[in-house]
Amino acid sequence: MPRAIVLVLDSLGCGGAEDAAAYGDAGANTLGHLAGACASGRGDREGFRSGALRAPNLDALGLGLVIEASSGAWPEGFSRPRAPGALWGYAVERAHGKDTPAGHWEMAGAPAAKAFFFFPRTDPCFPPGLTEALIAESGIPGVLGNCHASGVEIIERLGAEHLRTGAPICYTSADSVFQIAAHEDAFGLERLYALCRIARRLCDPLNVGRVIARPFLGDADKGFERTPRRKDFAIPPPLGNLLERLVHAGHEIVSIGKVGDIFAHCFTGREVKRDSDMAHFDATLESLRALPDGGLIFTNFVDLDTEFGHRRDIAGYARCLERFDARLPELLAAMQPGDLAVISADHGTDPTWSGCDHTREHAPILAFGPGVPGRAIGRRESFADIGASLAAHLGLPATAQGSSFL
């Protein structure tokens, strides 16, 4: 019986979506602009990396062809393989917004049934009733922030005041999120998680996609730094998705990275969460060696997004992608006949773009495995085609939406 692996390179968009202008993202192209920036020297950092983007394994699978098909422009530094090693194409997101849950849910074959609620770009941005209830139910002395902000910037700006007052830092972004940052030691990690659970319940009537715990350490003298113990509290995903189909059929699922959080721990099987993308690659290989027939591994690689995309760090983004690419031969060597792997993304976070938010983009699709002939699969009209294809590959009932490209 076949097996499947989904590798989500969080934020690796491949060209602006047709409705990108509605999100302020007309012209965004994470992969294309990254390649161009590296070729021009903007991706250089002494002692870290330099020169053109080096992703030979993704290139051989057909990633350059994907970028050209999606954006209409050939990415600098890529080749035109005569025989691409993957089924290659790109997908258009049908769900509203550019959120991580919306992208993952649609990828699993069940797009969000209705649009998430987004907090307005006002100051304060949260409804008074929401913050008042959070303060009253949790016993915190108040909240700091209450605005749209970059997570790194707002912790640097308000970290000292948080330590002095004990009030957590609450902020949002262009996504449907209520984020709470607090010091792991001074405030307490479990207390932060408990506060987020209260916020999750209070945000439910608004249909806010995620409440996110953002723990950090440090002080005003040495600076503040976020830790890897982030935790997402998402609303439950729509029914009819690939994971639900797998569980009902008795198949094994391994969810790696923040996948369990994104799907609100619904039908996510065994969950593995480590502290970096490379550790999650290790976990993927370990899980693949033990995965039974009919099983699925679903891995999210978040460092591209959180560590580099939102910070508009071109060199860091390029190096992170290059490190992933360098490990692809290990995955290929571990795959067995009948296995199918799919590399895709949930949205963009163009590191050359203005601001610090996600960008509304197409998602690349590279599907490959032993004996899978490479060919173009063209433009897919929904991320849900990925879930539909994996359901077909694993012999499951069709997902709620999507058309198989197999």
Per-residue burial over 261-284, b if 16 or more Cβ lie within 10 Å, else e, is bbbbeebbbebbbeebbbebbbbb
The neighbour count for residue 260, using CB atoms within 10 Å, is 23
**What is the SS3 assignment for 17?**
coil
pLDDT (tens, 9 = 90+) of the chain, 406 residues, equals 799 999 999 999 999 999 999 999 999 999 999 999 999 999 999 999 999 999 999 999 999 999 999 999 999 999 999 999 999 999 999 998 899 999 999 999 999 888 899 999 999 999 999 999 999 999 999 999 999 998 889 999 999 999 999 999 999 998 899 999 999 999 999 999 999 999 999 999 999 999 999 999 999 999 999 999 999 999 999 999 999 999 999 999 999 999 999 999 999 999 999 999 999 999 999 999 999 999 999 999 999 999 999 999 999 999 999 999 999 999 999 999 999 999 999 999 999 999 889 999 999 999 999 999 999 999 999 999 999 999 999 999 999 999 999 9
Name the binding residues for Mn(2+). 10, 305, 310, 346-347, 358
- Encode 157-197 in three state secondary structure: HHHHHHHHHCCCEEEECCCCEEEEEEEHHHHHHHHHHHHHH
Asked if the domains 3-113+238-393 and 128-233 are classified in one and the same CATH topology, the answer is no
| The CATH number of the domain covering residues in 128-233 | 3.30.70.1250
What amino acid occupies position 199? A
Nearest to 218 by CA among 167, 172, 155: 155
C-alpha angle with apex 174: 171 to 177, nearest 5 degrees? 50
| The CATH number of the domain covering residues in 3-113+238-393 | 3.40.720.10
Name the binding residues. 10, 305, 310, 346-347, 358
Q: Record the pTM.
A: 0.92
User: In this structure, are residues 337 and 2 in contact, taking their beta carbons and an 8 Å threshold?
Assistant: no
Question: Domain extents for the chain?
Answer: 3-113+238-393, 128-233
**Cα–Cα distances in Å, from 37 out to 33, 147, 304?**
6, 31, 16
